[in-house]
Amino acid sequence: MSNKNVKLKGKLRRYLCWPLPLTVLLVAMNVVIYMDNTQSGVLFSIFVLIYFLVMLLSYIHTKPKLADELINYATQYATVQKQLLYELEIPYALLDYNAKFLWMNEQFSWLIGKNRDYHKSVTSIFPVLNKELLQRNDEVESIRLSLDDKDYRVTMRRIYFDSMTQGSTMVSLDESEEYLTAIYLFDETEMNRYIRENEEQRLVAGLVYIDNYDEALDSIEDVKRSLLVALIDRKVNKYFTGIDALVRKIEKDKYFVVFKKKYLDQLREDRFSLIEDVKNVKVGNEMAVTLSIGLGVGAESYMKNYEHARACIDLALGRGGDQVVVREGDDISYYGGKTKQVERNTRVKARVKALALREIIESREHVVIMGHKISDVDSLGAAIGVYCAAREMGKKAQIVLNEITSSLRPLLECFSVERGYPADMFIKNEDALLITNRNTLVMVVDVNRPSYTECPELLKRTETVCVFDHHRQGSELIENPVLSYVEPYASSACEMVAEVLQYFSENIRLEPCEADCIYAGILIDTNNFMTKTGVRTFEAAAYLRRAGAEVTRVRKMLRNDMSNYKARAEAVRSAEVYRGVFAISVCPAEGLDSPTIVGAQVSNELLDIVGIKASFVLTDYQGKIYVSARSIDEINVQLIMERLGGGGHSNVAGAQLSGCNVAQAKRMLMSTLDEMLKEGDITR
């Protein structure tokens, strides 16, 4: 750099220019002297002229030398700084505008294994540090990367040329838009290791329940019962002590376990094989023993982890047992759940729930009942059953029903004003929101997901919410219900309500049309008593038959019109077989009053084809793709639908897909089937 381009400024410039104002002062004095004495003024003028010439020559001669001295000093100072940067313990390098190395210190050179003459792009060493990243408008302050199994935090700073002399009080340079990039590498390997170790040392709280303890013991000889219990205890203790866990048996069929989080991934990799190991315990028992496990991890305290474990075990049992539910923070994951739910022969739970429901209804002014959106026969039948219970207690009850489908219309005609029913027996969302307050009981039937209910806002209008449902629970739950009766083994919500009504009151009486409606719900959800039927299903049907239900009358009400029948025939005709065992079809929705119900009927019919293990019917309705999934006993369709965001039972399930068309939904379903076949979650 030429010293001609160096401009002096600030105090140094004022110091060198101080003779100029002094000369002006001397000239003023010279004028005064002229006025007093001309001869003295001439002599003083000569002195001022000589002084000005000497100062001017001195300034012209001194300025270049001073600039040279300043530059030399700056160079020496920069040399010292450069030496310090070169020996700095932190790896440091300078990059030009094109992300090429200009300079690097000793540590940086040693780190990347290149000498100081290496002037190629930084991308050749760190691919993530490309030119586009460095030239982005928003300056990237730091990123993280790995090199030779070490973790580094890369901090970057831009150095603009015009800022190099901006703070100087002596020199300035012309402005420039280009810049250099300084990068620092901070080794965070040890810190990350400590963070990882600390995370791995966090404790996981777990609860292990034997789902069918009493039923399994009842199926074995008395002398072998202690042996069966001992074998289960040994399996549970051996499995968890293998990961350095603390295992304590807190009840005859319950265990509490605590282990380090670092072993959780190991358990996930083997898909919690303890569940399958316990099923294989056979000492003459006819029924396989199943376990439910709930694990809580990632909370801010041990007590919170335990609370999460309690919530997970309740969720696992609510989904039918034989599975593991893990809650890590706000994320919930499921493992297992392939075994068909075992029906409980005891009615103790139904009696307890009936008495609890009676007390709740008695303490409230009125009852609002709602099912799921696009209500079906099971949802309506269960709502009618609860309506009868509220009527028995002398409470006003109303049913939320927004959309009346063709399948519901024949049933609803039975509840007209002419037959003695109130005109406001069925209301819409707007009316329900107006009448619901803190003293209202909101009864939810045939659904346990708040977003699937007819009016989710109702759940926030009252603190008294009861849930009766037969679907397996998912991560989305109705919060804090005062009464929750969720039984996945039940065939339908109508079956559950029919059982509760038997214990609700000795004097309760159902009208024939009411019994017909509840009976129809059981008939539809069991596909004419062919799916998920047990002893209690037929007992509930027998109770309704005694209450006045007429099979022939119900069959007439459930008949389809010609357009629905043709749509079913077309969907069956166009079905394709995927992977040899899956039947996939699309149900036409045009011209149908309730295409989702027709789709469910088609999925049932496709199971009658030889070789089909599971059927899936897609229906495009109201901007969503509804998927109806059915199987007989070999494929757990509930696991498949959960992958798509839905749920249900092992043999009857469904899902709702948004933001896609039928073709995309079909590809999504096929890829899910392929993925689950590969992982072994389902088998052909």
Instruction: Quote the pLDDT of residue 371.
Output: 94
**Which pLDDT value is given to residue 171?**
47
Question: So what's the pLDDT on residue 138?
Answer: 55
- Give yes or no for a contact between 284 and 221, defined as CB atoms under 8 angstroms apart: yes
- The maximal CA–CA distance of the chain, rounded, in angstroms, is 146
Give helix 348-362 / helix 377-392 axis angle, nearest 10°. 60
Give the Cα separation of 380 and 518 in Å (integer).
8
pTM of the model: 0.62
- Per-residue pLDDT, 90: 81
Q: Are 386 and 442 in contact (CB under 8 A)?
A: no
**What span, in angstroms and rounded, lies between the C-alpha atoms of 283 and 374?**
48
| Beta carbons of 608 and 638 less than 8 angstroms apart | no
d(CA 124, CA 81): 28
pLDDT for position 429: 93
Q: Tell me if 247 sits within 8 A of 255, measured CB to CB.
A: yes
Helix (H) or strand (E) holding 335: strand 331-336
Give the distance, in angstroms, between the CA of residue 552 and the centroid of all CA atoms in the same chain: 48
Q: Could you read off the pLDDT of 23-81 as tens digits, one per residue?
A: 777 777 877 777 777 777 778 788 878 877 877 777 676 666 666 666 666 666 667 77
> Tokens standing for 170?
């002596």
What beta strand segments (E) does 446-555 contain?
464-469, 483-486
Report the pLDDT value the prediction gives residue 359, as an integer from 0 to 100: 93
Cα distances from 612 to residues 117, 575, 579, 676, 681, in angstroms, run 70, 11, 10, 17, 18
| pLDDT under 50: residue ranges of the chain | 1-3, 170-171, 173-176
Q: Are 654 and 628 in contact (CB under 8 A)?
A: yes
pLDDT of residue 497: 95
Supply the pLDDT for residue 1: 45
Which of 571, 609, 576, 607 has its CA nearest to residue 590? 571
- Sign for the CA dihedral angle at 648, 649, 653, 659 comes to positive
